[in-house]
Amino acid sequence: MRDVSIIGIGQTQVGEHWETSLRHLAYYALRDAMMDAGVERVDALVVGNMLSGEVSAQAHLGALIADFAGMRGVEAVKIEAACASGAAAVRQGILGVASGMQDIVAVIGVEKMTDDVGSKVTAGLASAADADYEAVHGISFVGLNALVMRRYMYEYELKHEDFAPFSVNAHANGARNPNAMFRRPITEKTFLNAGMVADPISLFDASPMCDGAAAVILCPTELAKQFSDKSVRIAASTIATDTLAIHDRKNPIWLQAAEDSARQAYKLSGYTPADIDFFELHDAFTIMSALSLEACGFAEPGQGTRLAKDGDITLSGKIPICTMGGLKSRGHPVGATGVYQIVETALQLRGEAGENQLPNARVGMAQNIGGSGATIVTHILTREN
Amino acid sequence: MRDVSIIGIGQTQVGEHWETSLRHLAYYALRDAMMDAGVERVDALVVGNMLSGEVSAQAHLGALIADFAGMRGVEAVKIEAACASGAAAVRQGILGVASGMQDIVAVIGVEKMTDDVGSKVTAGLASAADADYEAVHGISFVGLNALVMRRYMYEYELKHEDFAPFSVNAHANGARNPNAMFRRPITEKTFLNAGMVADPISLFDASPMCDGAAAVILCPTELAKQFSDKSVRIAASTIATDTLAIHDRKNPIWLQAAEDSARQAYKLSGYTPADIDFFELHDAFTIMSALSLEACGFAEPGQGTRLAKDGDITLSGKIPICTMGGLKSRGHPVGATGVYQIVETALQLRGEAGENQLPNARVGMAQNIGGSGATIVTHILTREN
């Protein structure tokens, strides 16, 4: 087993890229990551994507992107694990390098949701839920999260306004990220006045539909110095799963797979929650921020919003989250999101996070969630020097 | 890097499983493979599937199948590489075991095409082609293969009847495979009288739409003996890619990715075409059989049908192909096919191929093709003892 490091990162701005095709988006991110790493070829390409078949009538992205990026012939596959496709692809890339069968692997997360001209995206996203027992009843993904949020508010006697700090923090950080989709800070008042999407989820609880691509270049840690003096080491990479259907879980307001994959990541890396300097969590909805913080050991059950209210999740707080805007403000191009999180974690560890740079960021955690918590991928990254 | 072996295999019959859900099909194959291996748990699950999002409105198969098979929590992802999804999933499973991060990995290929009530399957299959430059014009996958076949017939001055031996051989072998979809032998006359699908492809040139699942259990070769006295070693596992669009290739009647992945597999294993005792090739259409034999070094360019006419591809020939019926007769549940091929290769090497058993089968090759040749996965397997 070889240790694996990240020697290059790349990303496109997240947004509505009407004029840019899926293959172009992927290429731009890959090109930037390869230039950053200083590599001209890779042994394999791993693509994370969820919806291209449903939305763009295009499967087979591995070969497509390999060819379009000028690497015709190279080994390439696509990984899908709903909204956790991006980080699951990073995990597969890590296995390839760790195996010794591949030295340089490029992982690309790409999603183009705005090609949709009807309800394909909403139907596609619902396919992350259980088709036979959830989606068949017509519930959308926002609807599912609304049910979870309502239950959580009931159990812990919370109000909608208690979730405002998550959204305010995300937009404050996103405003200073040149690659974010939404670059304007919001106030609590904006949050409270927002239109309802699916009660109690309002517009500022929910992440947007958008397009984007991000990429990382992986290589064995022992070779990383040859390519980069700012490489970032993968201290842990784990995936845990749970039932697709929320009603099948013992506790609908507890992310068991987040707890499982985080616990395993702590064990593999030797770190504890106290060692984590910042946490790129999966704030597809504000409720998910609270649940993630609790399942990963940063807050007691029911105390996630309290942590946010106390300011602990801001850049100067105890456990900064979504330091580049998170899914809410940077945007959530679903199959690409997990790779964006890894790229942003690397930016912080390399000291290249610009106005959002954390002082002394040495250990960062990124967590990518598929469905309503059925696939959860956790990565812990550390500075090499 | 650790060597990897197959310690368990399982498969469902291929057919129209109206009454069996996708998750049930996957579970049946997985259960049989785990019982065959004598394992009660695995470290990870890798699912090969192409169309579940488009046809069954169900993505996120990794977590779904893990839970349904009674392994809630276990690491699980889905791999997609069009019709090569199955073998690409096997490749990812091998990387996981070789890495040392996973010891026991289950790989499942599953596809349910008969859930379709309209043209979703045909549109879904077309998404393996280039959406912007091929499928946009309305061409189906049969249409694309028909163009290739027509060109091949023109270049080498062949007639439709020259392809009959591929179909006759596949159906002869499938008739004796209890898991095959079509279990009746055909004659050359049946082939010649079949209705046209897309000129020059007639019904007996083309593989059927169907449902099925197959699974293998992988572990490090050094541990294989603990589980099974009939394990099969992976001597090579390779993926090569090419352009999705056929018009972008230097030669539309040459499978460059088959040549590339086979050449690499020969190099890794130390075997040459002369060492291969049988070849489970990807006969989605009869033309693909000819092209595969040529690209992998079993026939000179243009001589694929000659090999077939001479009887060299039959069970008693020089290079038996599709020994359990191939895609034509066993069936082609697209994302599952690559795993079926590996299961059948293992059956031959284990001496469990029943009436189709080859004497002294020691080295078998399986090749799975995605799209019209844009992703090609080659595996070479050998008997351990």
3-state secondary structure B35-96: HHHCCCCCCEEEEECCCHHHHHCCCCHHHHHHHHCCCCCCEEEEEEECECHHHHHHHHHHHH
Q: Which residue shows structure tokens 């985080």? A: A262
In this predicted complex, what is the ipTM? 0.97
Residue of chain A with shortest Cα separation from B98: A99
For residue B279, what are the CA distances in angstroms to A109, A166, B259, B301?
35, 57, 14, 18
Alpha carbon B269 to chain centroid, angstroms? 20
Using the beta-carbon criterion (under 8 Å), do A375 and B95 form an inter-chain contact?
no
For an interface test with B, the pick among A54, A71, A75, A115 (most B C-beta atoms closer than 10 Å) comes out as A75
For residue A71, the one-letter residue type is: M
The beta-carbon neighbor of B241 closest among A21, A73, A81 is: A73
Domains, chain B? 4-119+210-227 (3.40.47.10), 140-204+235-383 (3.40.47.10)
Per-residue confidence (pLDDT) for residue A117, from 0 to 100: 62
Instruction: Tell me how far apart the alpha carbons of residues A18 and A10 are, in angstroms, rounded to a whole number.
Output: 20
The beta-carbon neighbor of A241 closest among B59, B73, B80 is: B73
Using the beta-carbon criterion (under 8 Å), do A126 and B66 form an inter-chain contact?
no
Residues of chain A with Cβ-Cβ distance to B128 below 8 Å are 59-60
Residues of chain A with Cβ-Cβ distance to B77 below 8 Å are 79-81, 88, 91-92, 239, 375
For an interface test with A, the pick among B80, B139, B372 (most A C-beta atoms closer than 10 Å) comes out as B80
Residues of chain A with Cβ-Cβ distance to B79 below 8 Å are 77-80
Residue of chain B with shortest Cα separation from A127: B58
For an interface test with A, the pick among B95, B102, B121, B139 (most A C-beta atoms closer than 10 Å) comes out as B95
Name the E strands within chain B: 4-11, 44-48, 75-80, 105-112, 196-198, 201-202, 211-220, 232-241, 278-280, 363-370, 375-383
Distance from CA of B300 to the nearest CA of A (A): 22
For residue A348, the one-letter residue type is: Q
Residues of chain B with Cβ-Cβ distance to A81 below 8 Å are 60, 62-63, 76-78
For an interface test with A, the pick among B27, B55, B60 (most A C-beta atoms closer than 10 Å) comes out as B60
DSSP, collapsed to helix, strand or coil, labels residue B18 as: coil
DSSP, collapsed to helix, strand or coil, labels residue B315 as: coil
The beta-carbon neighbor of A375 closest among B57, B63, B132 is: B63
Residue of chain B with shortest Cα separation from A373: B63
Residues of chain A with Cβ-Cβ distance to B88 below 8 Å are 62, 77
Residues of chain B with Cβ-Cβ distance to A1 below 8 Å are 99-101
Instruction: Tell me how far apart the alpha carbons of residues A334 and A255 are, in angstroms, rounded to a whole number.
Output: 19
Using the beta-carbon criterion (under 8 Å), do A241 and B62 form an inter-chain contact?
yes
- Consecutive H or E run containing B127: none
Cis omega (within 30 of 0) for bond into A200:
yes
Q: Which residue shows structure tokens 């879980």? A: A249
What is the residue-level pLDDT of chain B in tens, covering all 385 positions?
899 999 999 999 999 999 999 999 999 999 999 999 999 999 999 999 999 999 999 999 999 999 999 999 999 999 999 999 999 999 999 999 999 999 999 999 999 999 876 688 999 999 999 999 999 999 999 999 999 999 999 999 999 999 999 999 999 999 999 999 999 999 999 999 999 999 999 999 999 999 999 999 999 999 999 999 999 999 999 999 999 999 999 999 999 999 999 999 999 999 999 999 999 999 999 999 999 999 999 999 999 999 999 999 999 999 999 999 999 999 999 999 999 999 999 999 999 999 999 999 999 999 999 999 999 999 999 997 5
Single pTM value for the model: 0.98
Using the beta-carbon criterion (under 8 Å), do A244 and B60 form an inter-chain contact?
yes
Instruction: Tell me how far apart the alpha carbons of residues A154 and A148 are, in angstroms, rounded to a whole number.
Output: 10
Distance from CA of B294 to the nearest CA of A (A): 18
Angle at A67 (CA atoms; ends A63, A73), nearest 5 degrees:
70
Using the beta-carbon criterion (under 8 Å), do A100 and B130 form an inter-chain contact?
no
Using the beta-carbon criterion (under 8 Å), do B239 and A58 form an inter-chain contact?
no
| pLDDT surpassing 90 at residue A65 | yes
Distance from CA of B100 to the nearest CA of A (A): 5
Residue of chain B with shortest Cα separation from A377: B75
A104-133 per-position pLDDT tens digit: 999 999 999 998 766 889 999 999 999 999
Distance from CA of B149 to the nearest CA of A (A): 22
The dihedral sign for the CA sequence A309, A311, A313, A314: positive
Indicate the pairing of strand A44-48 with strand A75-80.
Answer: parallel
Residues of chain B with Cβ-Cβ distance to A67 below 8 Å are 241-244, 248, 374
Beta-carbon pairs below 8 A across chains A and B = 216
The beta-carbon neighbor of B95 closest among A50, A56, A96 is: A96
Residue of chain A with shortest Cα separation from B122: A57
For residue A39, what are the CA distances in angstroms to A51, A72, A126, A173, B260?
29, 16, 38, 31, 22
A194-248 per-position pLDDT tens digit: 999 999 999 999 999 999 999 999 999 999 999 999 999 999 999 999 999 999 9
Per-residue confidence (pLDDT) for residue B1, from 0 to 100: 82
Residues of chain B with Cβ-Cβ distance to A129 below 8 Å are 60
Using the beta-carbon criterion (under 8 Å), do B244 and A91 form an inter-chain contact?
no
Crossing angle between the packed helical segments A164-174 and A286-295, to the nearest 10 degrees: 100
Per-residue confidence (pLDDT) for residue B385, from 0 to 100: 58
Burial string for B82-106 (b: 16+ CB within 10 Å, else e) reads bbbbbbbbbbbbbbbbbbbbbbbbb
Instruction: Tell me how far apart the alpha carbons of residues B209 and B12 are, in angstroms, rounded to a whole number.
Output: 15
| Whole-number percent of chain A with pLDDT over 70 | 99
Using the beta-carbon criterion (under 8 Å), do B95 and A95 form an inter-chain contact?
yes
Using the beta-carbon criterion (under 8 Å), do B53 and A58 form an inter-chain contact?
no
> What number of other Cβ atoms are within 10 A of residue A264's Cβ?
17
The beta-carbon neighbor of A50 closest among B59, B94, B132 is: B59
A337-359 per-position pLDDT tens digit: 999 999 999 999 999 999 999 99
Per-residue confidence (pLDDT) for residue A385, from 0 to 100: 58
State chain A's maximal CA–CA distance in angstroms: 57
